[in-house]
Amino acid sequence: MQISQLDPTQADRFGSTHTLHYALNDGRQIVLLSGVVNVEMQSPGWMNENAGTNLFEDDLTIELALPGDLVPNAQRFRIIEAVPYLSLNAITGFSNVGWGVTEFQVAKQEAGVRAVRLEARVAVSRSGEILRSVAYYITLVGEVVG
């Protein structure tokens, strides 16, 4: 599943978004991004009480825009260090409870980026759970290039 903050048709999937960036003394920038993303991930066994209790896992990619005043015009941001965090925010279901974020990372590109791509693996129980939303918090250290 791919969700992008750069896609105007998906704008309503992002809530409580916050960004902050600050120039460090050595010319690098520290950038903080946080918010909530509506994912609406349903297991294939939704509404099937005999679907079993194992987990349905799926890849989730969330593309997050960097602040426009940080990377104006043709400039890019080269990520040197990234500390991402992704957690479950809202879940619903009716039977065997089970969900999780099993891994996450920020995709780095040497040439620099205009948006941050958070890649994760999420899971819900096959017996009827829905992952409604996730919350993210990302700290980046990098430099503006170009």
pLDDT of 45: 63
Q: How far apart are CA 97 and CA 101, in angstroms?
A: 14
Q: Helix, strand, or coil here: 104?
A: strand
Number of domains, the chain = 1
The pTM assigned to this predicted structure is 0.87
Q: For residue 133, give its domain range.
A: 2-145
Q: How far apart are CA 57 and CA 2, in angstroms?
A: 14
Convert the pLDDT of each residue in 8-65 to its tens digit: 999 999 999 999 999 999 999 999 999 999 998 887 765 555 555 577 889 999 999 9
Q: Residue 128 in contact with residue 49, Cβ under 8 Å?
A: yes
